Structure 1
Amino acid sequence: MAIRSMRFTPDVLLGAPRRSSAVPNTAGTLAVYTQTSYSFESHSKTNEIRVLDIDSGQSALITNDPGASNPQWLGDKDQLVWLKTKGNGNTSFIVGDAREVDKTYMAGTVPGPVSDLKITNIEPGKIGFAVSGKANPDGSLYNPHDAKKPYTTGKLYTSLFVRHWDAYVEPQKNAIWYGLLEKAPLSPARRQAGKYSVSGLTNLIAVSGLNGVESPIPPFGGTGDFDISPTAIVFIAKDPDLDPATHTACSCYYAPMFSWTGMSSKDSVCRVQGFKGLQGAMSSPVITSDGGSIALLAMQIDGYESDKNRILYVPNPWNAEMIEVFESSDGKGSWQLSPSAISFAQGDQSLLINVEETGRGVLYDLPLHNIRSAKPDALKQLTRSGYVNDVAPAAANSSKLFVSGSSLVDNSLWTIIDPANPDDVRVVSSNSRSGSTFGLSSSQVDETWFRGAEDHPVHAWIVKPSNFKPGEKYPLAYLIHGGPQGAWNDQWSTRWNPAVFAEQGYVVITPNPTGSTGYGQPFTDGIRGEWGGRPYEDLVKGFEHIEQQLKYVDVTRAVALGASYGGYMMNWIQGHPLGRKFKALVTHDGVFSMTSQLASEEQYFPLHDLKGPIWKVPENWAKWDPSRFTENWSTPHLIIHNELDYRLTIAEGLAAFNVLQMRGVDSAFLTFPDENHWVLNPENSLLWHRTVINWINKHVGLPTLSEEPDLSQGMASMSV
């Protein structure tokens, strides 16, 4: 039985079970998923593969092996296959029965770490699979456990991308590998009779002769970068002829699988690229069940990672016909929204489209029968609240859909919907019982609109304390999102969760100013060349709106917090009049000096947003530089910056903290030597939350958390 938490604290947030999306079996009776949790008592992580009985809502443990991952249905009754990493770096394929969890066996082992397992049923007893894994320069599977240690630590580079996200770039590259899981014939003489065995692995990129191609695309690429069918594999990769640090241009590759144990000719791979000026990034390639057609998302502008995604439909990859769905004569596309993922449905007769829309993650259905002339009014909206993370058929040969999602108060919600009647929603499972196990409810969540820069409407979410009382006033926590082309959505998060701040006694307001996604591409594009301009004006007007319209908010006790671009905005606000409205600020991994962006890895980002390189448009780089206004810095300020953040180097945080200290401003500096742009280790994240919350609470007069950070255990504390 789930026990209601007395208070939604950081410990509860970080220790609560985290579920993946769930995938039903072909009968629609069971759904498999992974679940992780962390215990702050034992300081240990639990990793599980579980199966949910869809009718009863009860779940059963399949395995709690810490190396188990990527469970998939084999299609044979209730059989599953999953990956298991071993101490020597190898990966085993484990087969088991969902209803007889003690009956498992190893189908085979490959000599290195692989992940992102996808499978496809070729014929009874014969299953094709694809995984991702690092490849050595010679095309073999890379196993760091077997790699020879060099005699020197030196690294010599002669091109951009010295390091990416949180690691130095190495010779090994991501690759897609394929093979067969084949069932041995039933024979008393064979020990493996009736059991699956792994054929081995083939490097798809190497045997295709695609020199320089890397897929999935680092650092975040995974199963969304490729798809498989019984007869073909489709995948995307950055254009190998262009520098990945300054370009986002991609190609899509279609590889027919005449044999799942090898490939006869490198010429058999078809390359899809550059449709009618769509020269930018690609994502979400999907393939029909017969392998005959593909669809994908493509951007127009090379070098702009937040350009609008267009839907491309390719009826036959071998001929030149490519259809841009919702194409318009002006080249902008007739649908203003930017899809984030697509998938085939209804026997490949329609496309399911995931898209951000006004602070929500919405699912749409688009029939394919008139795809060449389709207009946005052909879209059918299937969801209206929360955020859809994934969607799968509820059962084989069923029109119903199994949807995995979340909301601002519910960390995992699984539902079944019927596209014919999307208002008829069956709740299969809510991990937090609609937030009640955390002491949260949807009644805490509200939203507001106000007029921002150039009188443009701006949307914001409001999250109130669970014990909110009308007539009382509460201090304001103003949260600014990163990106900057991003958004606050009706979605769960374990890194920046508005509810965990609200439960301290704040009214949390999360505005989506100029540059935010989900409000039309012109609004997203409006931040270009305006980093401290229109978005800052939106935030000023948003604060005025709160002061004038939300009488339950005490703006005299306000704090502001932000990470990445939100951290930039904290530093910008600190040097401008809005900064005097707050009692305290928090910058996590933010920009201090725009010129330091030249130390970042993905240089296409500042090149696009600042309209060119520094030697051509130095005035653009200088105009929005927070360090130019440090003479105004006076608001108490917590700076957080991590040493493995190669997107915004730690010098940014140190410089901001040093300025604050030299100016005599109440300030503190928190750093994690083993974290990147985010804080992912649960123990580190708990310290992060305690430090941040105690900092802002101190400055608005709220109680500190019951347990202060222990500075004597693994963390040095020094003051002068």
Structure 2
Amino acid sequence: MTVGAKKFTPEVLLSAPRRSAATPNAAGTLALFSVSTYSFHSHSKTSEIRVLDIKTGQSELLTNDLAASEPTWLGDHNLVLWLKGGEKGTTELVVADAEHLDNKPEVFMTVNGPVSNMKVARIDADNIALAVTGLATPSGDLYNPKTAEKPISTAKIYSKLFVRQWDSYVTENKSSIFYTVLSRLQGVSKMTVAPLKNALADLSVPLETPVPPFGGAGDFDISKNGIVFVAKDPTLDPANYTKTDLYYIPLRTFTERQAPTPQIVKTGNLRGYSSSPVFSPDAKSVAFARMKSDQYESDKPRLLLVPDITDLSNVQEFYETEDGEGKWDLRPESIIWSRNGEELYVTAEENGRGKLFKLPASPRHATHLPTAIIENGTVTDVKALPNNRIFISSTSLVDNSIYSIYIPDDPSGRLTVSSNAKGGKTFGLSQDQVHEFWYQGAGDYSVHAWVVKPSFFKKGQKYPLAYLIHGGPQGAWNEGWSTRWNPAVFAEQGYVVVAPNPTGSTGYGMALQNGIKNEWGGRPYEDLVKGFEYIEKNMDYVDTTRSVALGASYGGFMVNWIQGHPLGRKFKALVTHDGVFSTLNQYSSEELFFPHHDFGGTLWENRENYEKWDPARHLENWATPHLIIHNELDYRLPIAEGLAPFNVLQTKGIPSKFLTFPDENHWVLKPENSLVWHKVVLDWINKYSGVTSD
């Protein structure tokens, strides 16, 4: 499924097969996954759904229909269900037999609109609950943009926030969960399905889930006892508050004409984001996560348990402390139950890795902090297997898809089932290229940094530095794959890539992360300065006189900040992607809780703090050649934040270039656009660093 590459180029990165997480069947013998590729020769995409033999690591094609997506096991008979985009905006539910791949898949239901995030759960021997999500009209019907009546005017009128979010204007149509039941599953031809029903229709106070703009299947779960989901508090302004609550809808048959009113799960002083609700195997309990602050999107999530879904007043917190801060200093993300319901498996960042942790499923038994059972790479998905084994989907800095099995009490601990890039070899990469170091930060703490060397690195030679600055700012460079900011792409041009995780970075404890509040250009900048000084003194194979610096989002802010400060004179060229030109313009964004938290209040309450970290205050110092990239559909940082610095650079006569994509948002996602992005960026930094790339 992959073709070996002599050199890891942007074309190889963007055309390499992209595999989804894999989902094993009930027996743990087969797994479903999808894989897509893009060809720069034919300028076209291919997409497949495949069945993986977990024992051999080999896979077989189930369908190569471009419109097929989200394969899901249906019951215990190795039937596979997937969604297929149909004509006029409809969605078809298609079923096939994974044990008889020669049999033609059958369409057993057509839905009048686009749906996604499909989940199934067995109710009894003959019935399976099914839920999907889609946009609902104000009347509660599934919205179909292809058949909806088109307005005669393009006017948009708003009297509350949001006006627009991420890359689109907010409309009257809201995300919702639609449910039904599949009955008599002895065979495809005997299967019946009831019409979809909107679980959130006719509510006195409207609720929306998944939560835009990034909500998905992790925002809800289903079981034989009903649906749990998270939704924004409809009584609060969503632009200024992050509060999302957990709700429970008791359903017994999934044939109810009208779903019962959602019941809220109250969590005391924890009033921030709720996330990752998941039913226990017996459907009696629910584990989920919730933050404390209702105005801080990157607050620490706490693990919570509802032991008995029929008693929502009993909510228990894992690792609770009297001061309310919680004993576990990491940020739990996804949650999975073991098959026997006795343990939880939780993903969380730690020291530049996306680790997997194990803990007892009861807070009363979780007397010790969770144990990391997978410590390398980044775990992207986890599924429970029989015999307490765990199926893991993960990535690394040199491999974009690894399937493995965690085996308790086995000396090896982890068995690789399939590696998309054979540990990097397919891409001409090797784990030997990846290193890391720690250095003293601006205060009494250490800062971690990743190093990626060229595959053709030779001892005794010097290579220019590519200094990568991550966004967020509450984010991190982790030991995981990326198709947007991949360190290996820069390394293979001939750079030593250093990717530091300074103040504000996640996965190093909340003190380091929260230290960026009111310090945007302070401690993080000093950490980066000290990192550069460490490289100068300790890495004799790095030619710092030919250094370049690049960053996006907050990383773009920092590059703009560096441009106006002494560190900016250390670089031959700079690259800002969708960055902040002036912190005084934060109110042109959408999620206002973000600057309110990081700058310590509103603009009118604390203007001096916004001004303190404003890159535009230091324009007189700008002198380094600078590439500015900014996209038209970036509503989080509108395009004026890119046009303004380019205008300054041009007016001052500083060598500069401006790149924009009218059809991209904060990210560049389309393959052809991404290829242009990479070529422009690499040509720019290579020109000023003196790198010659064949």
Q: Same fold (TM over 0.5)?
A: yes
Inter-CA distance 239–421: structure 2 relative to 1 (3 Å threshold): farther
Matches within 5 A, 1:167-186: 167-183=168-184
1:522-551, Cα deviation, whole Å (9 max, x unpaired): 111100000000000000000000000111
**Aligned counterpart, 1:653:** 642
The reply on whether 1:489 has 2:478 as its aligned counterpart is yes
Letter of the aligned partner of 1:494 in structure 2? T
2:384 to 374, 380, 393: 393
1:69 aligns with 2:69: yes
Deviation sequence 1:333-377 (CA, Å, 0-9, x none): 0111111111211411111110000000110111135x2263343
Q: CA deviation at 1:110?
A: 1.0
TM superposition score normalised by structure 1: 0.94
Equivalent residue number for residue 493 of structure 2: 504
Partner Cα separation in structure 2 for residue 5 and residue 468 of structure 1: 17
CA distance in structure 1 between the partners assigned to 2:544 and 2:200 by the alignment: 57
Q: Distance in 2 between matches of 1:210 and 1:473?
A: 67
- CA shift for structure 1 position 210: 5.8
Provide the residue aligned with 2:199 in structure 1: 204
Please give the per-residue CA displacement for 1:469-503, whole angstroms capped at 9, x wherever unaligned. Answer: 11111000000000000000000000000000000
Deviations 1:8-35 (A, max 9, x none): 0000000000000001111211110011
- The answer on whether the counterparts of 1:475 and 1:555 sit within 8 Å (CA) in structure 2 is yes
Q: How far apart in 2 are the matches of 1:266 and 1:96?
A: 33
CA deviation map 1:544-579 (0-9, x unaligned): 000001111110010000000000000000000000
Q: In the alignment, does 2:83 pair up with 1:89?
A: no
Structure 1 residues 211-268: Cα deviation after superposition (integer angstroms, max 9, x where no partner): 321000001100100011112211101111101111001110111112212255634x
| Structure 2 match to 1:257 | 251
Paired position in structure 2 for 1:133: 134
Matches within 5 A, 1:185-196: 193-194=189-190, 196=191
CA distance in 2, matches of 1:150, 1:264: 31
> Per-residue CA shift, 1:592-617, capped at 9, x if unaligned?
01121101010100011001000111
Aligned position for 1:243: 237
Q: What is the distance in 1 between the residues matched to 2:599 and 2:94?
A: 50
Tell me whether 1:337 sits opposite 2:326 in the alignment.
no
Structure 2 counterpart of 1:145:
146
- AA partner of residue 92 (structure 2): S
State the percentage of identical aligned residues: 56
Matched, 1:298 2:290: yes
Aligned to 2:47: 47
Task: Give the residue type in structure 1 aligned to 2:24.
Answer: P
Choose from 464, 469, 489 the match for 1:480. 469
* Structure 1 residues 632 and 74: CA distance shift in structure 2, 3 A: same
Letter in 1 for 2:238: P
Retained in 2: the 8 A contact 1:511–1:539? Answer: yes
Change beyond 3 A, Cα 1:112–1:373 = same
Q: Is the 8 A contact 1:109 1:198 kept in 2?
A: no
Query: What amino acid maps onto 2:302 in structure 1?
Result: R
Spell out, residue by residue over 1:11-68, the C-alpha distance to the aligned partner (whole angstroms, 9 max, x if none).
Answer: 0000000000001111211110011110000000111111111122211111111111
The range that moved more, 8-17 or 20-29, is 20-29
Partners of 1:231 and 1:289 lie apart in 2 by 11
CA distance in 2 between counterparts of 1:312 and 1:55 reads: 35
Mark the CA change 1:448 to 1:107 in structure 2 (over 3 Å): closer, same or farther: same
Secondary structure at the residue paired with 1:404? strand
Q: Pick from 507, 510, 521 the counterpart of residue 518 of structure 1.
A: 507
What residue number does 1:636 align with? 625
- State whether structure 2 residue 416 is matched by structure 1 residue 427: yes
Alignment partner for residue 567 of structure 1, among 556, 571, 578? 556
Cα–Cα, structure 1 residues 254 and 210, in superposed 2: closer, same or farther, change >3 Å?
farther
The one-letter amino acid paired with 2:183 is: E
Counterpart residue identity of residue 592, structure 2:
Q
SS in 2 for 1:657: helix
* Match in the other structure for 1:470: 459
Partners in 2 of 1:326 and 1:538 — Cα distance? 31
Do structure 1's residue 587 and structure 2's residue 576 form an aligned pair? yes
Residue 244 of structure 1 aligns with an amino acid whose one-letter code is P
Native 8 Å contact 1:14 1:494 kept in 2: yes
Instruction: Identify the match of residue 355 of structure 1 among 344, 348, 352.
Output: 348
> Aligned residue pairs: how many?
692
The corresponding residue for 2:212 is: 218
- Per the alignment, in what secondary structure is the counterpart of residue 387 of structure 2? coil
What SS does the corresponding residue of 2:388 show, helix, strand or coil?
A: coil
Cα separation, 1, equivalents of 2:488 and 2:223: 42
- Asked whether the 8 Å contact 1:334–1:375 carries over to 2, the reply is no
Contact 1:278/1:298, CA 8 A, preserved across alignment:
yes
Contact 2:2 / 2:16 at 8 angstroms: preserved in 1? no
CA 688–402 in structure 1, closer or farther in 2 if over 3 Å, else same: same
In 2, are the aligned partners of 1:382 and 1:419 still within 8 Å (CA)?
A: no
Counterpart in the other structure of 1:713: none
Is 1:414 aligned with 2:403? yes
Q: Is the 8 A contact 1:201 1:261 kept in 2?
A: no
CA distance in 2, matches of 1:36, 1:139: 34
Whether the 8 Å CA contact 1:305–1:605 is kept in 2: the answer is yes
* Structure 2 residue identity aligned to 1:180: V
Q: CA RMSD in A?
A: 1.4
TM superposition shift of 1:165: 0.3
AA aligned opposite 1:173: K
The answer to whether the aligner puts 1:322 opposite 2:315 as a matched pair is: yes
Q: Which residue of 2 aligns with 1:37?
A: 37
Contact residue 383 and residue 422 of structure 1 kept, 8 A: no
Per-residue CA shift, 1:311-338, capped at 9, x if unaligned?
Answer: 0111123241111100011111011111
Q: What is the letter of the counterpart of residue 15 of structure 1?
A: S
Q: In the alignment, which of 677, 681, 686 is matched to residue 692 of structure 1?
A: 681
Q: Tell me, in whole angstroms, the C-alpha distance in 1 between the residues paired with 2:613 and 2:61.
A: 53
Alignment match, 2:672 = 683
Residue matched to 1:552: 541
1:290 CA displacement: 2.5
